[in-house]
Structure 1
Amino acid sequence: MEKELLTLIQKEFPVTKRPFAHLANELGVTEEEVLDTYRKLKEERIIRQTSAIFDTKSLGYRSSLVAFQVDDIEKAAAFVNTHPGVSHNYERDHDFNLWFTIAVEPDSRLGLEKTVALMAQRTNAKEYIILPTKKMFKIQVQLDVAGKKSKKEKVTKKKKIDFELEPVHYKLIKELQEDIEPVAEPFEKIVQKLGLSYEELQQEVQRLQDGGYMRRFASILYHRKAGFNANAMVVWSVDEEKAQEIGQKVAEFSAVSHCYLRPTYPNWPYPLFSMIHGKSKEEVEAVVKEIEAEIAPKEYRYLYSTREFKKQRIRYFSDAFKEWEQQYGG
């Protein structure tokens, strides 16, 4: 049941009055059994967080993957982590040894490029590259804990419905970012605080999803604790004119959680990025070999993460962004 539950809540955690009862009905067990299992998985640090996953760009934030070449990596990582828009920060086995994702808020005084330049100066980076997304083919972190996925899957993009965010949505976004508690009615605090009924909560959450502001409400796992002991950022050198077609092919592999087209530089000839997860290094590399056979790249390379310095969801519309710029931006 643990594996079945993890599969369900990675895909979608129900935003209802009694979500654990809803999950129990799908699993054919009792609500108390699901709650007990969920608590256990949280205590064992297999479930990292269950909250809303928002689309950074749709909320007006500018974001990018960034790579630094630094000598004192611990000191550099510690400073990079102070920025509230840094969600992921890893050491990887490359001359560019510090890789992080950063977002700046819509009315940032510094903006993305100046923020990164300031960070590079503060960390004494020898060199750095900014790698924003040019095309997103896939972003879907759903680890196959039950071992039931096929090697390939269809990747479809939902059509967005245009609507402007209203004051209630900004309040809702702040609340939905919080990790839920393992209780029978985890959304009770939100409906009481915002003065919504459960029906209105569901309706507005669905509107946020339909408008593309929110991807889904779901659980993310501690990969290694869930049995996925290897993950690699694999970067591919491919012909620019074929990159769109090739990216779509790479995204179809179930082991690929992220697939993006990014800029190239004289010192970085890899436009296609993919994140590949497996239960072992051998499993990851077997998937890479299959991809290589299908897309015939000019070259590719593995960038294994050797240390995790930060991994947490961004708190959107937080005062921390302006406070950071005031403290470090002059």
Structure 2
Amino acid sequence: MIATLSDIEKKIISQLQEGIPIVEKPFEKLSSEIGISQSEYLDVVNNLKEQKIIRQISPIYDTKSLGYDSSLVAFKVEDDIEKVAQFVNSHPGVSHNYERTHEFNLWFTIAVPPDSSLGLEKTVQLIAEKNNIKQYAILRTEKLYKIGVKLDTEGTKKKEKIKKTQPKIDYQLQEEDKDIIKISQEDIPLVENPFEEYAKQLGISQDYLLEKLNLYLKAGLMRRFAAILYHKKAGFKANGMTVWNVPEEKIDKLGYKLASYKAVTHCYKRTTNKYWKYPLFSMIHAQTKEELEQFVKDIAEEEGIKDYLILYSTTEFKKRRIKYFSDEFYKWEVYIQNGGNN
């Protein structure tokens, strides 16, 4: 059942998707911006979590900046897709895993740590072999036009300005930083001083922790500290991974155009191979399937594009943020190399 959101709930969801301030009392600052008390604000957020509208509020760390290798992967599963999905999900670097409406029917994102003994290509190869997958595609990002799920209820055609990339400071991760990232990536406590909870676990001062987290933002290690939603409960019943087959010289134009729409939450140029000919990927969210398809049709007609596909997700097998610097990565590699199978 889709929730009916009040104006205050919509404002809070918008704030939390944009990102919470990394300060001593973030919810006090956010609540003052919309004219309610901090306790009222936290009550609303707790209620939105209980209703399964807000999934999690935590840092969105940049996988590549942390040294991880990652990619989108498509499998053509001909047998028991749930069994294959379960095996894929066992890898701690799989954050998203969906069944989609295409002969390549299992789509997942996977990341491996910088000191992985297997590397990404070998990891995917072993997963495929263990599950008798004959055809698959590793679709690496070649260019990023947009990333950032900030759902808007005002229709698919609403545009937004694409923020210019801010210059990043150079920063090399230390062991202490890995400990901070491991603790801070958990769901934020909904209390007056949430960062104090993290600081206690780490045995450091709150001020030092705030300094570090803000440093990660400036260095591009963290994109933002924000909420992710249960899309359907928030009113976005339709989401389609729309892929476009366009000539190389037209990819940038279409990529930037798609990225300008709020309904488009992700847009990438990806690698192609003998199984996959669509280089441009865009994730589009809408309140109805008809609205989504009209949006795609309009863009295709405006740009004279004939070859495109909308791949709908039919089953969500996994969706969670990766727990970076977890020992689970190394345990999984030992398991798979010792003959672990489906």
TM-score between both structures, scaled by the size of structure 1: 0.96
Cα 1:261–1:88 shift into 2, 3 Å: same
| 2:99 equivalent among 88, 91, 105 | 91
Q: How far apart, CA to CA, are the structure 2 residues paired with 1:264 and 1:175?
A: 37
Q: For residues 181-232 of structure 1, give each alpha carbon's deviation from its aligned partner in whole angstroms, at most 9, with x where no partner exists.
A: 2222222121223344443333221211111111000010000111101100
Shift, 1:135, TM fit: 0.6
Shift, 1:126, TM fit: 2.9
1:247 matches 2:258: no
2:19 is matched with: 12
1:62 matches 2:73: no
Preserved CA contact (<8 Å) 2:155 2:263? no
Worse overlay, 281-290 or 62-71? 281-290
1:50 is matched with: 57
Amino acid aligned to 2:43: D
1:270 matches 2:270: no
For structure 1, which runs of at least 5 residues remain unmatched after alignment? none
Preserved CA contact (<8 Å) 1:255 1:287? no
Worse overlay, 69-78 or 168-177? 168-177
1:152 is matched with: 159
Shift, 1:315, TM fit: 0.3
2:4 is matched with: none
Q: How far apart, CA to CA, are the structure 2 residues paired with 1:327 and 1:120?
A: 15
Moved over 6 A (4+): none
| 1:106 equivalent among 101, 114, 122 | 114
Q: For residues 74-102 of structure 1, give each alpha carbon's deviation from its aligned partner in whole angstroms, at most 9, with x where no partner exists.
A: 11000000000000000001000100000
1:173 is matched with: 181
1:316 matches 2:293: no
Residues paired across the two proteins, number? 329
Shift, 1:310, TM fit: 0.2
Aligned partner of residue 134 in structure 1, secondary structure: strand
Matches within 5 A, 1:94-243: 94-145=102-153, 147=154, 151-155=158-162, 156-243=164-251
Preserved CA contact (<8 Å) 1:16 1:198? no
Q: Give the superposed CA RMSD.
A: 1.5
Amino acid aligned to 1:7: S
Preserved CA contact (<8 Å) 2:136 2:275? no
Taking only the aligned residue pairs, the percentage that are identical comes to 54
Worse overlay, 136-145 or 290-299? 290-299
Cα 1:24–1:150 shift into 2, 3 Å: farther
Shift, 1:329, TM fit: 2.0
TM-score between both structures, scaled by the size of structure 2: 0.92
| 1:283 equivalent among 276, 288, 291 | 291
Worse overlay, 233-242 or 202-211? 202-211
2:38 is matched with: 31
Worse overlay, 82-91 or 207-216? 207-216
| 2:81 equivalent among 64, 73, 80 | 73
